[in-house]
Chains A and B, each alone.
Chain A
């Protein structure tokens, strides 16, 4: 199985590493992709090449609700960035998660390390995964509801970036540019202390989780939830031809998010679930002709085939 996915994994890993360099260090070379990047391009990384849209969204919802923002050019700019985010999601969908997210790559590095050490992946039961799947919507709700309450001065100002304050990306990604300050406890006041403590506990749990479970953080990622909510706008689809499926179960076994729906689906052609990262490993490893395909609007980008799978194995044989 590992050999079968080697080719697409290399292509994906290449895209991830290029994206990692651009989004983490791009600012040092004058690259600025703006505040609407639909993946964890953390603004707390000095010299980053773009900002995760979650931060922009929190600021937009918070400050955008204030009287000062009404009718201002700032508001129009913020709306403009929202449009940019929607366009980026419409164009690439969850490619941002599976192929371009720097935090996703960090997770993949930890998984690779686990495999090298011969430690097996810890699987989450179907029921637990179902419950955990709701957590990302909780986080999305949290980061949307809290900023207006701060603007209305119902909550103290230290909640002004509620999700960033507890996001493990904020503590872990700056380590790649040598910044450890977000691993500190903040004693400024009770709220900053509680938020920094929560951040550190989340970071610890996430680090261990990412090691034992592939793409552990993606289970909770509110950006994944947000991108999924925009799914009707996105033209990228994972499509199943039920009649061609032999039920071999490759798609279920290979999925880093342990998605069962692609394997189990017997009615709908569209099998892209909320958890899907568009890594396309399922389509790549599917040995049945046209059983799984990747569509971009009406265009078929990739179609699973027996010959492709055999060619991949043969190509890998030559590489060896």
Chain B
């Protein structure tokens, strides 16, 4: 047994390392946003806020110098007639340096906000468009600064609208809060028309989805590992499409959460309930000397 272990262990390690690396080269070769943290943040002045940190992974961020143009749109949720609705969006632009490591953006929200972030990077003659969308949940009622400082770039400037870049985005999703396993995501491309979109889940290639009348549909399967984590924990879900003429790639990132109640079985539950009722009823009837009142 020790011999088998000794001889097989390096082989297993090698196999593991190659299998882990096997799917990553494409992600290493493009630009994509990655959420590296989203946490409830204490703010004694404004109640509980939420802070999200995004990192832009680019292939040449250490070696080549260049600018990454970043736009982000923040839509606060406003309570109108006791119903939460999106308020007027605010759009901002800022620049990140590709040679800075890491290229990080911090978003702090003191109220409920939906945040879309888009970046355009030109590296080694190719153009990379990267997008993501997420929600920041917070308890504060008052308006808050749109974002906290970014460590890597100048202060952002307000602009009137988002640029008309080729992008991938969500067109339909049943859940308003989190992107969850087991729920179908429908993506739409805008500004370009790819034939296929490649899907990476937790850095592993999991699917290639085809264009169906301008839409791409993907249902992330339930993940046993993710199911054991908190609802707020997530794994990376990245969609990648090629630009025409090998001009570059478009990526779209979503933090994928565990299913909230997607792995439930009502029929099984009702059977358990009926069984326990029958058992309890049987016990009561057997223990009772006389079931009914004497009349």
Distance of A68 Cα from B37 Cα, bound (Å)? 15
| Chain B: minimal CB distance from A182 (Å) | 9
Distance of A185 Cα from B264 Cα, bound (Å)? 5
Tell me which residues across on chain B come within 8 A of A187, comparing CB atoms.
Answer: 263-265
Contact of A200 among B228, B262, B276, B290 (CB under 8 A): B276
Distance of A171 Cα from B266 Cα, bound (Å)? 12
A77 nearest in chain B by CB position: B47
Say whether B281 faces chain A, with CB atoms less than 8 Å apart: yes
Tell me which residues across on chain B come within 8 A of A120, comparing CB atoms.
Answer: 290-293
Tell me which residues across on chain B come within 8 A of A157, comparing CB atoms.
Answer: 229-231
| Chain A: minimal CB distance from B264 (Å) | 4
Contact of B273 among A192, A200, A212 (CB under 8 A): A200
Return the CB mask of B251-265 against A: 1 if under 8 Å, else 0.
000000011011111
Say whether B246 faces chain A, with CB atoms less than 8 Å apart: no
**With contact pairs A74-B139, A184-B265, A185-B268 given, residues A204 and B40 touching in the complex (Cβ less than 8 Å):** no
Additional A-B contacts beyond A68-B48, A122-B288, A201-B276 (14; CB < 8 A): A68-B39, A70-B42, A71-B44, A72-B42, A73-B43, A74-B47, A118-B292, A118-B295, A120-B292, A122-B287, A183-B273, A186-B264, A187-B263, A188-B227
Tell me which residues across on chain A come within 8 A of B259, comparing CB atoms.
Answer: 188
Say whether B279 faces chain A, with CB atoms less than 8 Å apart: yes
**With contact pairs A74-B47, A122-B284, A157-B231 given, residues A205 and B268 touching in the complex (Cβ less than 8 Å):** no
**With contact pairs A68-B41, A73-B47, A118-B293 given, residues A197 and B272 touching in the complex (Cβ less than 8 Å):** yes
| Chain B: minimal CB distance from A213 (Å) | 9
**25 A-B pairs, CB-CB below 8 angstroms?**
A30-B82, A68-B42, A71-B42, A73-B44, A73-B47, A73-B48, A74-B139, A118-B292, A119-B293, A122-B287, A157-B230, A180-B266, A181-B264, A183-B269, A184-B261, A184-B269, A185-B269, A187-B264, A188-B222, A188-B264, A189-B228, A192-B263, A204-B273, A204-B276, A205-B276
Question: Is A203 touching B291 in the complex (CB atoms < 8 A)?
Answer: no
Question: Is B266 touching A201 in the complex (CB atoms < 8 A)?
Answer: no
- Number of A residues near B (Cβ < 8 Å) is 37
Tell me which residues across on chain B come within 8 A of A71, comparing CB atoms.
Answer: 42, 44
Say whether B206 faces chain A, with CB atoms less than 8 Å apart: no
- Which of B262, B275, B281 gathers most chain A CB within 10 Å? B281
Question: Is B269 touching A200 in the complex (CB atoms < 8 A)?
Answer: yes
Say whether B270 faces chain A, with CB atoms less than 8 Å apart: yes
Say whether B280 faces chain A, with CB atoms less than 8 Å apart: yes
Tell me which residues across on chain B come within 8 A of A132, comparing CB atoms.
Answer: none
Tell me which residues across on chain A come within 8 A of B291, comparing CB atoms.
Answer: 119-120
Say whether A207 faces chain B, with CB atoms less than 8 Å apart: yes
| Chain A: minimal CB distance from B241 (Å) | 32
A197 nearest in chain B by CB position: B272
Question: Is A68 touching B293 in the complex (CB atoms < 8 A)?
Answer: no
Say whether B14 faces chain A, with CB atoms less than 8 Å apart: no
Question: Is B47 touching A200 in the complex (CB atoms < 8 A)?
Answer: no
Say whether A156 faces chain B, with CB atoms less than 8 Å apart: yes
Say whether B277 faces chain A, with CB atoms less than 8 Å apart: yes
Interface residues on B, range: 35 or more
- Where chain A touches its partner, the secondary structure class is helix
* Interface residues, chain A, with chain B CB atoms under 8 Å away: 30, 68-74, 77, 118-120, 122, 156-157, 171, 180-181, 183-189, 192, 196-197, 200-201, 203-205, 207-209, 212
Tell me which residues across on chain B come within 8 A of A181, comparing CB atoms.
Answer: 261, 264, 266
B229 nearest in chain A by CB position: A157
Tell me which residues across on chain A come within 8 A of B275, comparing CB atoms.
Answer: 204
Question: Is A196 touching B292 in the complex (CB atoms < 8 A)?
Answer: no
Question: Is A186 touching B261 in the complex (CB atoms < 8 A)?
Answer: yes
| Chain B: minimal CB distance from A117 (Å) | 9
| Chain B: minimal CB distance from A132 (Å) | 15
Distance of A185 Cα from B39 Cα, bound (Å)? 30
Tell me which residues across on chain A come within 8 A of B39, comparing CB atoms.
Answer: 68
Q: Which 9 A-B residue pairings sit nearest by Cβ, starting from the closest? A: A204-B276, A208-B280, A184-B264, A157-B230, A184-B269, A184-B266, A204-B277, A72-B42, A73-B47
| Chain A: minimal CB distance from B136 (Å) | 15
| Chain A: minimal CB distance from B181 (Å) | 10
**With contact pairs A68-B40, A69-B42, A203-B273 given, residues A183 and B292 touching in the complex (Cβ less than 8 Å):** no
